[in-house]
Amino acid sequence: MFSLLPDECGWKGKPMTRFNGKSSWWFIAFILVWTAVMFIIMLIPSPVALWIAGAGLLMSIFLISTLIRNHVDVFDDRVEICYGPMTIRITISSIRSVERSHCLLASTANSFDRVYITVRGIDCCDDTLVSLKDNDAFIEAVRDRLRDLRAEASDVSECAHPTSNAPWL
């Protein structure tokens, strides 16, 4: 459920709130060292070295793009995680929990100060980690929206006929 087109972030309406991503000093240092090593490898007069350096420089371009485009938008109905060339959309109603984490798993997070988003679904890969400059405000915004959706669902269920099988419940 992601798109590789960077301009698709915000495909439906303007975000209620945008939370900028956080990049730790060690992540930036890693990118700089990685890129420098790839340029040094390019100096080796060997076709294999050029292939390795070329692939490594493509990886550098991807990593640099994650520094440039790294934010999370909260809309009325979804959360969009914009990270480098990728956009991940998660509907608010499918979020089970949002909590702080210092998990070391690879993710769309440039820092170990992360937010773990648990999503309803069969696939274990539906969950994701993000790292934001204001993790607590993001958690509060998503939890508020979840409370609003639950309140709307209970309002609708009170109006529905008791024997109806409402698909939104």
Domain tally, the chain: 1
Report the share of the chain in percent with pLDDT over 70.
Answer: 76
Range of 11-20, 73-82, 159-168 with top mean pLDDT: 73-82
What residues make up the domain containing 109?
A: 2-153
- Say if 158 falls within a structural domain: no
State if pTM tops 0.85.
no
Task: Say whether pLDDT at 71 is over 60.
Answer: yes
- Say if 22 falls within a structural domain: yes
- Say if 99 falls within a structural domain: yes
For residue range 100-156, list pLDDT tens digits in order. Answer: 887 776 666 788 888 888 888 655 556 888 889 999 999 999 998 888 887 877 765
**CATH code, 36:** 2.30.29.30
Phi and psi torsions of 135, nearest 5°: -60, -40
- Say if 63 falls within a structural domain: yes
- Say if 164 falls within a structural domain: no
Q: What is the pLDDT of residue 16?
A: 81
Nearest to 95 by CA among 80, 78, 108: 78
Q: What is the pLDDT of residue 107?
A: 65
Least confident span in 6-20, 35-49, 54-68: 6-20
Gap between the Cα atoms of 98 and 127, Å rounded: 10
